[in-house]
Structures are given as structure tokens and as C-alpha cells.
Amino acid sequence: MSAVDLARSIKKACSIEEVEPKRKHVRACIVYTWDHQSATQFFSILKSVPLAPSEIQVFKCLIVVHKVVQEGHPTALREAIRNTEWIRSLGRVPSNEYGRLIQRYASCICEKLMFQASHRGFDGGMFEYKEYTSLAVVSDPDRGYDTLWSLMDLLEEVMETCKLMLASMGRRRKAELVVAAVVPLVTESYGIFKFCTAMLRALTQEIDDHAALEQLSERYRMQHRDLFELYADCSSIKSLTSLISLPKLPPEPESFDMTDKTPLERAKVLSTDQRLAIHLALQSINHSREPVSFYSVSQLANEIAVSAEPSIPAIIRLTHQVTTLLQRNPSPLLAQASQLYFQALLSPSQQDIINANTNLQNLLINSPAHIFDPPTPQTHTSA
């Protein structure tokens, strides 16, 4: 593959169209770095591509950089580190449609590069677990503790960036490009988490005083929970699951010290489905205090109906609001229209969703106004 072919692939991968960078073009960039054992030419050409003022092109450029760093020749990581400030400059865009996502994504990639620049024991752009690397890092317990804490900081950054991407999908008519950015973030998060698991396991074996690791262990458990919920949210996005096999975390985090456990003290193990149900229940409770109005119900129903990938939080909010209406006014017609609406969301036909939404909107318009008012507290007077 020549430099001319590489330039053509980069240009097509970073085109102005609001679609994901085609995999064949991204793949060509990755293969070039392996064929030439270098990523210098890749970054040289990429930096010459006129991206401004197109937010879409900048966003696609970040996706390409992330993928090449992850899957390209190890020199891609080194070249990316040398170009950290240029990547950071891509995030300095106005906060328009993609502005906030670009700023966060560029910052996330730079955090990754800065971590790997200061921790040379992590080879390559992917955090693939290597036993010898993990053990080498933890041979000095103090250094191992600091390294693992920094790695968890990076995981936090990746998860928050991914959550921001997911949250933005409900507000977009086209979410294809955002989904393309979520793919390498999910891959990144799982690689880091596996490495954290390996390092914490090795530290536990290295250090006799396990109480000294309690803060790390507690943070590990919290990140396991957050990552589990993040992957649960991702699993509802069909266009994402068609691109990547989502990681499957065990329902409970690994326990690194079982010496003090007795059968009575063992934590209850919940299945993946049970944890997902609890996660959704918690999300629903979080919306319990939201006021219900005709406008809020109508707007939410419309947003979800026209969205290519409705977000889970939006669906949960609408569920709460419709349920509240039915509690105030147990109308069989409203209940039926709501059921048909949610069933239509499972249909591959957009027309089914439009029809069900129209039916629900008509019923909402004709519903008595008092069902949108909060219930009046009852007062008891003494005789």
C-alpha cells in the first residue's frame, strides 16, 4: 500500500458525511502501519487534512486516531504520544452539535496517551493483559499501587466519555457516528478493567497486609458495578451490538481475599438479568419526583418515536410518566394506547411506531386536564 493509497483512505475515513468511518478505510490505515512498521506517514497525512470548520470531520478523525492507536503497529502509540498536543487541539471547537463530544473524546484520548507515556510497561495501544507485564509492575508494591490507581483514573475517564456518548444519542436523529465512537471506548474500557483485575490480583499475592489494599479493592468493586451497568445500557443499542460483541462481566466482582470469608458471610450472587432489572428499577425511582404534564409526556413520546436509537433513560422516564397518568386516571384506552406504543418500539417498521405514537398523542390531547395535576394531599379533621 502506497502513501497515495493511505492518503485516499484517510480522506474517505474523515469525509464530511455524517456516517461512521467505513471499516475498510480505517482498516487500510491500520494495515499500513503494520506493513511499513511505522505510523509516521499516517499522522503526517492526517494532520494535513483540512478538518475545520467541520465538526463531523473532526469527530471522525478522533475515531480513526483511536482505532489506529489501538490496533495499529506499536509505533502508532509512540507517534500518537508525540502528537498529543495536536490531538488536544482538535478538542478546541465551538460547543455546537458535536462540540461537547469532541472536547470530551479528545481529552479522553489524550489522557490515555499521557498515561501510556508515563507507564512504558504497557506495550501497544490496547490494554491486553500480559501476565509478565502485570507482575513486573507490581514487583514494587508502592509503584504497583500508584500505577493501578492511575489506571483506574483512566478507566473512569473512558467510562464517563462513553456515558456522555450514549446520553447524546437520544437527542439525535442519526446516531450512527456516535455509535462508531462508542465501539473503541467499550474495547478500551474492557481492556483496562481486565488489566486492573490482573494487577489487583497480583498485588494481593505480593502484599500480606490486605487492609492496605482495601481502598483499591473498594474502587475496583465500584468500577465493576459501573462498567456492568454501562454494558447493560450498551446492550439495548442494536446498531452497536451489530458492530461489536459486548464484554460480559460476571454479576459479582472478583474477590481477591477469601481467607476471612465464612459460608454465612458470602455475598449473595445475582444473575446478570437480576442486576439489570435492579439497575432499571433504580433509574425509574430516580425519576419518581419529576412533574408530569401533557407537554412532558407528549414531548418524550415524540422524541423516542423519531429517534433511531432511543436512549434507555428516556424510555424509563416515559414509562414513569405514563404510569403516573394511569394511576391518576385508570383509563383502559390510555393503557391500551400506551401498551401499543411500547410494543411498536420493538417493531422494525418505523411506520408502526409513528402510528402508535399518533394514537397515543390523540388520547393525551383528549384526556381530562386534571390527570396531569399532582394529587392533592388529604387532610384529616377531627370531629
The secondary structure of 333-376 as a DSSP string is HHHHHHHHHHHHTTSS-HHHHHHHHHHHHHHHHHS-GGGGSPPP
| Class of residue 216 by CB neighbours under 10 A (exposed 0-12, middle 13-18, buried 19+) | buried
- Model confidence pLDDT, tens digit, residues 284-317: 676 666 677 777 788 888 888 887 667 777 787 7
Verdict on whether the full-model pTM lies above 0.75: no
Per residue in 235-274, pLDDT (tens digit) is 888 888 888 889 888 888 888 764 544 333 334 555 656 6
What is the average pLDDT value for the chain, to the nearest integer? 81
- Model pLDDT, residue 360: 84
Domains in the chain: boundaries = 3-254+268-273, 294-372
Residues 6+ apart with CB under 8 A from 335: 326
pLDDT at 89 over 80: yes
- For 340-358, what is the mean pLDDT? 83
Percent of the chain with pLDDT over 90: 36
Contact 237, 309 (CB under 8 A): yes
Distance between CA atoms of 137 and 118, rounded to whole angstroms? Answer: 13
pLDDT of 260 reads 45
Question: Which position has the grid cell 415524540?
Answer: 302
d(CA 310, CA 341): 13
**Minimal CA–CA distance to 357: which of 301, 297, 308?**
301
Across residues 85-107, what is the average pLDDT? 88
* pLDDT recorded at residue 258: 43
* pLDDT interval class at 127 (50, 70, 90): low
Cα 333 to Cα 357: distance, rounded to the nearest angstrom: 14
Sequence length of the chain is: 383
CA 32 to chain centroid, in Å, comes to: 29
Tell me what pLDDT residue 211 has. 75
Amino acid at 223: Q
Task: Report pLDDT for 273.
Answer: 62
Q: Grade residue 123 by pLDDT with cuts at 50, 70 and 90.
A: low
